[in-house]
Amino acid sequence: MGYYLRIEPDVNIYVEDVNQKSAKTILFLHGWPANHKLFEYQFNHLPSMGYRCIGMDLRGFGNSDKPSSGYSYDRMADDVRAVIEELHLENVTLAGHSVGGAISIRYMARHNGYGVEKLALFAAAAPSFTKLPDFPYGMTKEDVTKHIQETYEDRPNMLKEFGDLFFFQYVTRSFSDWFFQLGLQAAGWSTASLAASLRDESLFSDLENIQVPTLILHGIHDKVCPFPLAEAQNRGIKNSKLVSFENSGHGLFWEERDKFNQTLAEFIG
């Protein structure tokens, strides 16, 4: 079922909640610039395996409210805390893809992992989405700035070009159109603002504060968040396990969904 949670006086967050009776809960945070529907192929199967799957649309995306501000990692992490508190969640597996992974990491550091028993990162945009003098991986800041400018000038074309980078395996025209529509459901300003956070924020010190078992899943052909980001996460997070996906790009949860779902289920137990 889907419903809204009020996390600020003027901000409501949309949540899709499947199999509420299960004690094993996964809270999914989607990547930029999509929404909870990105995990359709997990919601199709994991509930039948005994898991409660909660998909949260980040503010500015999907069905959630789209305020003009509030797109820093800190604010997004605070939104996650509000959802966990509102739903009285305990012993959750927090699962984040791309920028959702970055927000998950910030949540663990900022809120001391409140309510979270395990962490799962999928093609996470961490510890830095952009190249730095001492971290030569990821996009350049200039490339991200170009995406932001294109968002304000021709957002549909920007989304199409980003979609072309997303998958390693062939996708049908119909699937590509569906994926494109997920991005259009966001607001232009939220798309640009969260991209600015991707460009400007980093999470090196946050990694050191994660104390729960962590699963890192990452496609070796990822052109959005290159595989060295996963290796850096693995080095920086104590008690973490890295599993590579040999036939995936940034969309491993679809490209190798059977392996993805099984690996995640085995990790959660």
Question: Is residue 197 annotated as part of the catalytic site, yes or no?
Answer: no
Considering the candidates 65, 78, 206, 222, report the single residue annotated as catalytic. Answer: 222
Q: CA-to-CA distance for 84 and 90, rounded, in angstroms? A: 8
Considering the candidates 30, 36, 218, 250, report the single residue annotated as catalytic. Answer: 250
Chain-centre distance for alpha carbon 251 = 11
**Helices H / strands E in the chain, number of each:** 10, 8
100 φ, ψ (degrees, to nearest 5): -60, -35
Please answer whether residues 144 and 195 qualify as being in contact, where contact means their C-beta atoms are separated by less than 8 angstroms.
Answer: yes
Question: Is residue 206 annotated as part of the catalytic site, yes or no?
Answer: no
Residue 21 exposed, middle or buried by CB count within 10 Å (0-12, 13-18, 19+): exposed
Considering the candidates 36, 78, 98, 206, report the single residue annotated as catalytic. Answer: 98
Residue 48 exposed, middle or buried by CB count within 10 Å (0-12, 13-18, 19+): exposed
3-state class (DSSP) for residue 129: coil
Question: Is residue 98 annotated as part of the catalytic site, yes or no?
Answer: yes
Q: What would the DSSP string read from start to end of 13-74?
A: EEEEEE-TT-SEEEEEEPPTT--GGGGHHHHTTTGGGTEEEEEEPPTTSTTS---SS--SHH
Residues assigned a catalytic role: 98, 222, 250
